[in-house]
Amino acid sequence: MRPARVRTTTLADVQSGARNEACTVCRRELRPGEPLAWGLAHERLHERCLEGLRASRLRPKERPQRVAPAMRGVLARHEGRLCTACLAMEINVSLQQARDVVARLIPSEGFAVLPVSCGRCGRQTDALCTIPHAA
């Protein structure tokens, strides 16, 4: 017996609004007219979420110089600060993996863990922050 065929969603369906789908990174609805990108296995996502997708697929041994640009893009969408829990949800990884990412970034220039309110959930906790470069 043949399996039932699933209707394939095309880029035109998503852009025209014929089918509503959610971004695979942020889980928000893909709306007509928004810049879209395609991930692996035909994942549809917002172009602004590409950095989050790249950050979530980094290997544990990656150098901070490779992780930093992706994390700056993710943090820029949230006032430059995210707690570890929100960072994990934003880049779609486990809490422990997010802690590992933070531990790799802290020695890098332009990042610090500071006791501030999170840009996503608003909790007052230690959060990964972008800090301006000293001139």
* Every domain of the chain and the residues it spans: 1-57, 58-130
Strands (E) in 8-101, as ranges, are 36-38, 44-46, 81-83
32's tokens = 């007509």
Model pLDDT for residues 98-118, shown as the tens digit of each residue = 888 888 888 777 889 999 999
- Residue 132 makes CB contacts below 8 A (sequence gap 6+) with 110
DSSP 8-class letter at 65: H
Model pLDDT for residues 19-48, shown as the tens digit of each residue = 667 777 677 787 778 887 776 666 777 777
Q: Answer yes or no: pTM beyond 0.85.
A: no
Distance CA 3, CA 67 (A): 42
C-alpha distances (whole Å) from 49 to each of 6, 8, 44, 114 are 26, 22, 10, 25
